[in-house]
């Protein structure tokens, strides 16, 4: 009997995609849309094509340096590569304010976690942060700065492909591909990453960059509370994997959770465990932390200097 996905329950986390031993399940690909966007930009003369890369990119493409991957993305035809981590800085900043105002909040960064709440804990929906995700926040900022721009998000996530279809996100992101699909594009164009010079990524803070792993968002919100001198005792719980999220939500829905902020990431380990990652392993967390420490901007306020002016 053929297996069938019950869409009323599916949260598009992609766990089935990468755990199936036979590779029998695949997610919807927007790779052709991205090729079309590259072609129609006519070398960025018709419109500027921006790539927004998730911070977990720092733990992928282990055979090349991160700066070479950025050069590779530009060699595909992108005008600019921006860090979704700067969107994470924006989210941490405003999420801290929202938390202080409401007193209890769940994060909204992970679309699979948000879908899980909507489908399984409808009474908790009003507790979900109203912030856009980091991907949508930085894309909105780019499009408001350059209204004709087109944006492709490149990340570890299959759930983002569903998120970009939402009415609140659709205007800001034109297509979404995974790291696996980026690798396929690079291979198709015979681009040798290791032969390319190193470009730079220098938008975000340490805190925005560590969103990629479980606990990073919580650290960033705590830092945003501190930097804004908000009078609030943050009592967070960081949940990775749907089982941990379910437990916290169950307790919160019954008034039994001692915490006032739930960081929810559907993938074990956070986004470094995403279904569209090229690698899944212990080293990925260390790579993300190293990438965070390399940030030129040491505080969230520093990273947002340009945006908050």
| Residues lying near ligand SF4 in the complex (CB under 6 A) | 5, 10-16, 110, 112, 156-157, 159, 265-267, 270-271, 274
Q: At its nearest, how many Å lie between ligand SF4 and the CB of residue 148?
A: 28
H helices then E strands: how many in the chain? 13, 7
In sequence order, what are the beta bridge partners of 153? 52, 176
Q: Are strands 236-240 and 261-265 parallel, antiparallel or unpaired?
A: parallel
Q: Do residues 267 and 284 lie in contact, with contact meaning Cβ atoms separated by under 8 Å? A: no
Nearer to ligand SF4 (CB atom), residue 16 or residue 230: 16
Q: Which of 141, 143, 136 is nearest to 157 (CA)?
A: 136
Nearer to ligand SF4 (CB atom), residue 12 or residue 138: 12
Residue 47 CA: distances (Å) to CA of 41, 51, 169, 239: 5, 13, 20, 40
Q: At its nearest, how many Å lie between ligand SF4 and the CB of residue 125?
A: 18
Q: Do residues 264 and 110 lie in contact, with contact meaning Cβ atoms separated by under 8 Å? A: yes
Q: At its nearest, how many Å lie between ligand SF4 and the CB of residue 13?
A: 4
Nearer to ligand SF4 (CB atom), residue 77 or residue 134: 134
Q: At its nearest, how many Å lie between ligand SF4 and the CB of residue 3?
A: 9
Nearer to ligand SF4 (CB atom), residue 157 or residue 169: 157
Q: At its nearest, how many Å lie between ligand SF4 and the CB of residue 79?
A: 26
Q: At its nearest, how many Å lie between ligand SF4 and the CB of residue 2?
A: 14
> SS3 for 175?
strand
Q: At its nearest, how many Å lie between ligand SF4 and the CB of residue 110?
A: 3
Provide the terminal-to-terminal Cα distance of the chain, rounded to the nearest Å. Answer: 59
Nearer to ligand SF4 (CB atom), residue 87 or residue 156: 156
**272 contact partners, CB below 8 Å, separation of at least 6:** 56, 59, 156, 212, 213, 280, 284, 285, 288
Which runs of E-coded beta strand occur in the chain? 49-53, 80-83, 105-106, 150-155, 175-178, 236-240, 261-265
Nearer to ligand SF4 (CB atom), residue 72 or residue 273: 273
Nearer to ligand SF4 (CB atom), residue 18 or residue 78: 18
């Amino acid at each position: 009997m053929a297996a069938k996905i019950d869409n009323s329950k599916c949260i598009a986390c992609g766990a089935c995609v990468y755990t199936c031993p036979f590779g029998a399940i695949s997610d919807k690909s927007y790779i052709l849309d991205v090729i079309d966007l590259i072609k129609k930009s006519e070398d960025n003369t018709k419109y500027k094509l921006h790539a927004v890369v998730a911070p977990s990119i720092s733990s992928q493409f282990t055979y090349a340096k991160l700066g070479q991957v950025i050069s590779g993305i530009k060699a595909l035809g992108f005008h600019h590569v921006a860090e979704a981590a700067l969107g994470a800085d924006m989210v941490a900043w405003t999420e801290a304010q929202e938390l202080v105002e409401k007193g209890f909040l769940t994060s909204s960064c992970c679309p699979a976690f948000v879908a899980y709440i909507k489908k399984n804990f409808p009474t908790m929906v009003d507790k979900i942060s109203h912030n856009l995700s980091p991907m949508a926040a930085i894309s909105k900022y780019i499009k408001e700065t350059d209204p004709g721009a087109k944006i492709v998000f490149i990340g570890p996530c299959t759930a983002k492909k569903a998120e970009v279809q939402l009415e609140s996100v659709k205007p800001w992101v034109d297509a979404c591909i995974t790291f696996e699909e980026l690798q396929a594009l690079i291979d198709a164009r015979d681009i040798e990453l290791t032969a390319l010079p190193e470009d730079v990524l220098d938008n975000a803070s340490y805190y925005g960059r560590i969103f990629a792993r479980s606990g990073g968002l919580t650290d960033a919100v705590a830092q945003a509370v501190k930097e804004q001198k908000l009078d609030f005792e943050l009592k967070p719980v960081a949940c990775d994997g749907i089982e941990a999220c379910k437990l916290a939500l169950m307790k919160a829905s019954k008034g039994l959770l001692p915490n006032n902020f739930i960081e929810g990431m559907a993938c074990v380990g956070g986004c470094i465990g995403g279904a569209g990652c090229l690698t899944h392993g212990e080293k990925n967390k260390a790579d993300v932390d190293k990438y965070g420490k390399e940030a030129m901007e040491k505080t969230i306020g520093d990273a947002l200097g340009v945006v908050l002016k």
